[in-house]
Structure 1
Amino acid sequence: RRADSDMSEFASIVERLERGEVPMKSIERELICPICEELFTQPLVLPCQHSVCHRCVRELLMPNHDDSLSTDAGSESSNPGSPRARGPSPSMEKLERLVRSGNPYSHSHRGDAGMSSPLMYECVRESASECVCACSCPPPPPPPKAQHEYVGPTTNFRPKVLMCPEHEMEKVNMYCEVCRRPVCHLCKLGGSHANHRVTSMSSAYKILKEKLSKSIHYLISKEDQVRTQISELEEMMRHTEENGQLAERHASEHFEHLFETLQERRTEMLRSIEQSRSLRVERLRAQVEEYQGMLENSGLVGYAQEVLKETDQSCFVQTAKLLHVRIQKATESLKMFQPAATQSFEEFVLDTSKEELLLKELSFSGVPAPPVIDLSRCRVYNEGLIHWRLSEDSLPTDHHIVEFRKLGSEEEQESGWSASEPVFGCSTVLSDLSTDSSYTFRVKSCRNRVYSPSSPEVTLHTPPAPVLSFLFNEKCGFSAERLQLSKRRDSVESVAGMSLLLAAERVQTGNYICLDYIIGDTGIAHGRHYWAFRVQPDSYMIKVGVASDSKLTEWFHNPRDTSSPRYDHDSGHDSGSEDACFEVSQPFMLVTVGMGRLFIPKASASAAGDHSSRVLPMPQRIGVCLDYDAARVFFYDADTMRCVYERPVDCSGTMFPAFGLLGGGAVHLEEFITAKRLSYL
Structure 2
Amino acid sequence: MTAEMRRSSGAFSVPIKNIERELICPICKELFTHPLILPCQHSVCHKCVKELLMLNHDDSFDAGSESSVSGSPRSRVPSPSMERLDRLVRSGSISSPGWRRGSVTPRVTTIPCPGCQHDIDLGERGISMLFRNFTLENIVERYRQAARAAVAIMCNICKPPNQQEATKSCMDCKASYCNECFKLHHPWGTPKAQHEYVGPTMNFRPKVLMCPEHEMEKVNMYCEVCRRPVCHLCKLGGSHANHKVTSMSSAYKILKEKLAKSIHYLISKEDQVRTQITELDRLINQTEENGQLAERQANEHFERLFETLQERKTEMLISIEQSRNRRIDQLKGQVQNIQFSLFI
TM-score normalised by length of structure 2 = 0.39
TM-score normalised by length of structure 1 = 0.21
Compare CA radii of gyration and give the structure with the larger one: 1
In terms of fraction of residues, the more strand-rich structure is 1
